Amino acid sequence: MKGMNILVCVKQVPDSADTITISEDSSRIVYDKGTVFRLNRYDEFAIEEALRIKEHFSGSRVDAVSVGPGRVIQAVRKAMETGVDYGIHIRVETEEYLSPSARASLIAHYACTKGYDLVLTGIMAEDDMECQVGQILSEKLSYSCATAVMVQRIAEDEKSIYVEREIEGGVRECITLAMPAVLTVQSRINTPRYPSLSNVLRARNQEIEVIEPHGTDVIFADQSIVGLGYPEDAATGEFLKGSSSDKAGTLLGILHELSIV
C-alpha cells in the first residue's frame, strides 16, 4: 500500500447569531468586534474520518484547506491540533459573500496538481447551509462524488471506495466509487476526537501555507446576494390567569372565537 493523500476542506463560521447584523443596504452580513468564530462542526466529522483512514493506511497524509480572510487560519490550525499533518490557507481578504462555486474554484485550483486520492468535506456549513462546495469541487477536479456519507470503506488496493449515503426517510444508498473521489460526510459517521497535547503544541508552531489567489474577480462574480432580512417574529403565546375553572372558561372562549370548537 502506498498510503492515501487526503484533503479536508474546512470553514470558519460565527459561533453565535447574537453578534451578527445585516448591512444597511441588506447586501451582506456584518460581524462586529464581539463576534467569535470557530471551526464548522460538520467539518470536524470530515477531519475525524480522514484521520481514521490515515491510521488504517500506513504512509497516508492529511491536509486541511480553508478559504477566507486572515482570521480563518485559526480554523486550519484547529484542524491541525486534532492530527492533520499540513495546513493551507487560501487568503481572500473580504467579508463579502463567497459563493460555493467561488470557494470550490479556489480549492480546485490549488488541489488539481497535488494528486489527492480523497477529498472530504462536512455535509454543510453552519452559517449558510448551502451544501454545494463538495459537489462543485468534484466536478472541477473530475473526481467521483458521494454526498451525505454515513459509511465509507476504501478497498485495500486503494482504487475504489464503498460508501453508504443517507437519503430520504432514513434509507441508505450503497454505491462503489472509483478513486479519486470527493465525499461530503454526515454528522453521525463518527465521533470526533479531542486534540492531544502533542498535536496542539505541534500545530502552534508549525507553519501554515498561505496562498494569495490572483485574477479571481470573475470567479467571485458568479453569484450575488439580492437581499438579506431577519426572520419574522413568531406568534407570541398568551398565558391564562386565574383558577383552573377561569382558565378553562377563557380557553373555551378563545377556541370559540377562532371557530375551532
Nearest Cα to 138, choosing from 114, 157, 111, 156? Answer: 111
- Statement: residue 214 has pLDDT above 90: no
For residue 48, being part of any structural domain is answered with yes
**pTM score of the predicted model:** 0.85
The three-point CA angle 118-120-121 to 5° equals 160
Grid cell in block for residue 165: 449515503
For residue 76, being part of any structural domain is answered with yes
Query: What CATH number does the domain containing 172 carry?
Result: 3.40.50.620
Give the model's pLDDT for residue 10: 98
Give the pLDDT mean for 172-181: 97
Bridge partners of 63, per DSSP, are 7, 86
Segments forming the whole domain that contains residue 202: 5-220
Give the model's pLDDT for residue 104: 95
Query: Other CB atoms closer than 10 Å to residue 12's CB: what's the count?
Result: 23
Give the model's pLDDT for residue 215: 61
Q: How far is it, in rounded angstroms, from Cα 55 to Cα 72? A: 27
| Interval 52-91: pLDDT, tens | 999 999 999 999 999 999 999 999 999 999 999 999 999 9
**Domains identified in the chain, total number:** 1
- Statement: residue 217 has pLDDT above 60: no
Provide the pLDDT confidence category of residue 221 given band limits of 50, 70 and 90.
low
Per DSSP, the three-state class of 169 is: helix
For residue 133, being part of any structural domain is answered with yes
Let me know: does 173 contact 167? Beta carbons within 8 Å.
yes
Q: What is the mean pLDDT of the chain?
A: 90
